[in-house]
Amino acid sequence: MYKALNYWVFGGFADNRTPFEFIDFAVEMGLDGVELTVGDALSPDISPARCAEIRAYVDSKQIGLKTLATGFYWGCSLGSEDLAERAAAVAFTEKYLKIASWLGAESILVVPGATCVAWDPSRPRQSYVSVWNNSLASLKKLLPLAEELGVNIALENVWNRFLLSPMEWKYYLEQFDSSRIGIYFDVGNCCIYGVPTDYIDILGAKIKAIHIKNFSGNDCGGGLHGFGDDLLTGDVDFAAVFAALKQIAYTGPLTAEMIPFSRLPDLVLPDQALAEKTARQLKKLLVP
């Protein structure tokens, strides 16, 4: 299977490392690909020419760049009740899709909206219905461009208090008449609500990409500290996950996204040792 690493694990939440350094690191660690992040590794204003340089470097190193990610949507939502904010989120996503196309990436990670961003009290709370309706409208505006460019919009299951089960995800995705939209399934994020294999069984071909991390629940659920700094420690039954993926014939990317919130309030990124450890563990997980 295609094994990749997310930039945040290696470079943190800023442009601390260049895309070229990250690509070199992934090659050195024997990975199959990298996931660059827009807003950190890549500027949202990046030019086609700069993307062409990165793409050429990726090709020269014979490594993959199948997905892009971003943290943009936590502060600017496609499901916002504010018309100007929603328009800004759509405009960003249009550029995000173009960046993916310029780089040759297959999918972009998108958060459709949030009823609550629990760690950011400045963000307004919204009703489930308003996030549902507004995010659907925004995404339907974006799909023609995604189809034109041949890039998937992969919506991630995150802690946004929206789309809390695989059946909700199934119904939500059925609102779109396009193969260019699906889920970016995070096996760790769903553990607070359910079981990863249920998502795989129910959503099947709608899974465009997968984030690999672990989570340890406690006190009848758990919080951000459940995201530890060891990929192999936690509640995720990876043997069951990979068996379920085999059943649906999944061959897409598996990208480790280890953000050790267990270390809060003293989390420091980038963390070279964490990146190296995660890459080694990812390869160990995926040995046939």
pLDDT in tens, 66-109: 999 999 999 999 999 999 999 999 999 999 999 999 999 999 99
**Mean pLDDT on 213-242:** 93
pLDDT tens-digit map of 16-38 = 999 999 999 999 999 999 999 99
Residue-level pLDDT at 221: 80
In this prediction the pTM is 0.97
Residue entry with tokens 């379920």: 244
Confidence of residue 228 (pLDDT cuts 50, 70, 90): very high
Assess whether pLDDT exceeds 60 at residue 156. yes
Strand ranges for 171-258 from DSSP E = 181-186, 207-212, 254-256
Residue-level pLDDT at 193: 87
Question: Considering the chain, what is the average pLDDT of its residues?
Answer: 96
CA distance 135 to 113: 6
Residue-level pLDDT at 288: 56
CATH architecture label of 3-69+88-111+134-285: Alpha-Beta Barrel (3.20)
* 66 phi/psi in degrees, rounded to 5: -90, -25
Residue-level pLDDT at 144: 98
Q: Cα–Cα–Cα angle for 125, 131, 136, nearest 5°?
A: 160
**Mean pLDDT on 156-166:** 97
DSSP states of 53-92 as a string? HHHHHHHHTT-EEEEEEESGGGTS-TT-S-HHHHHHHHHH
| Rounded percentage of the chain residues whose pLDDT exceeds 90 | 96
Domain ranges of the chain: 3-69+88-111+134-285
**Residue positions counted in the chain:** 288
CA distance 267 to 167: 34
Assess whether pLDDT exceeds 70 at residue 287. no
pLDDT tens-digit map of 183-226 = 999 999 999 989 999 999 999 999 999 999 999 998 778 899 99
Residue-level pLDDT at 1: 85
Residue-level pLDDT at 72: 98
Determine if the peptide bond prior to 265 is cis (ω within 30°). yes
